Amino acid sequence: MNYEPKLIVDGEVVSPHGFTRHELLELPDEQQVADMTRIDPNRPGRAVRLAAVLDLVRPTEAGTHLTLHASADDFHASIPLAAVRDRGLIIYENDSLPLPASAGGPFRFYVENFAECHSHDVDECANVKFVDHIEITAGPGRDNRPKDDAEHAKLHEG
């Protein structure tokens, strides 16, 4: 069977939705970043701005945090929505093919100008790979990012 991965966006939103790669591709041109290497030379691929997705699902007033879930490896990060509304991206393709797992696909979250690991809410560790569920939460949601250098080193070993 041909199974197409979906990125579920739900929680404190008016219209929850599961986005396929093709649906992300159909979002407005001005919200697409056709060549991510112009933002980060180490992250080839095509992305759409988080704002385009938020415009569709419409967070409620209660929604304060963007909580990113990767069930593939049980990794989670929760960051203030206001801090990433305008600089969050979802990378979903490379060379017109689904983003491979080696690049964090099928969907990878990315924040422009992220801070160093565990220096800030919006740090490199929040660039969640294999993200399959974005939950808008009232207050901080699940977050198991490494809290210090030792935890961080351990995660990167594994």
Ligand X SMILES: Nc1nc2c(c(=O)[nH]1)N[C@H]1C(S)=C(S)[C@@H](COP(=O)(O)O)O[C@H]1N2
For residues 37 and 52, the answer to whether their CB atoms sit within 8 Å is no
Instruction: Report residue 21 CA to chain centroid gap.
Output: 13
Give the x/- contact pattern for ligand X in 48-67, rule: CB under 6 A.
Answer: --------------------
State how far the Cα of 77 lies from the Cα of 144, in Å rounded to an integer.
6
**Min dist. Cβ of residue 137 to Mo ion (A):** 21
20-to-78, 101, 157 alpha-carbon distances in Å: 23, 16, 32
Cα–chain-centroid distance for residue 115? 16
Q: How far is the CB of 33 from ligand X (least distance, A)?
A: 17
Please report, as residue ranges, which positions from 92 to 151 form the binding site for ligand X (by CB under 6 A): 104, 117, 124-125, 127-130, 146
Contacts of 116 (CB under 8 A, 6+ apart): 123, 124
3-state secondary structure of 56: helix
Q: Which of 35, 55, 73, 149 binds ligand X (CB under 6 A)?
A: 73
Choices 39-47, 53-61, 117-125, 130-138; region in contact with Mo ion by CB under 5 A: 117-125
Contact between 70 and ligand X per CB under 6 A: yes
Asked if 54 is part of the footprint of Mo ion (rule: CB under 5 A), the reply reads: no
Residue 117 binds Mo ion (CB under 5 A): yes
Catalog residues that contact Mo ion under the rule CB under 5 A: 117, 124-125
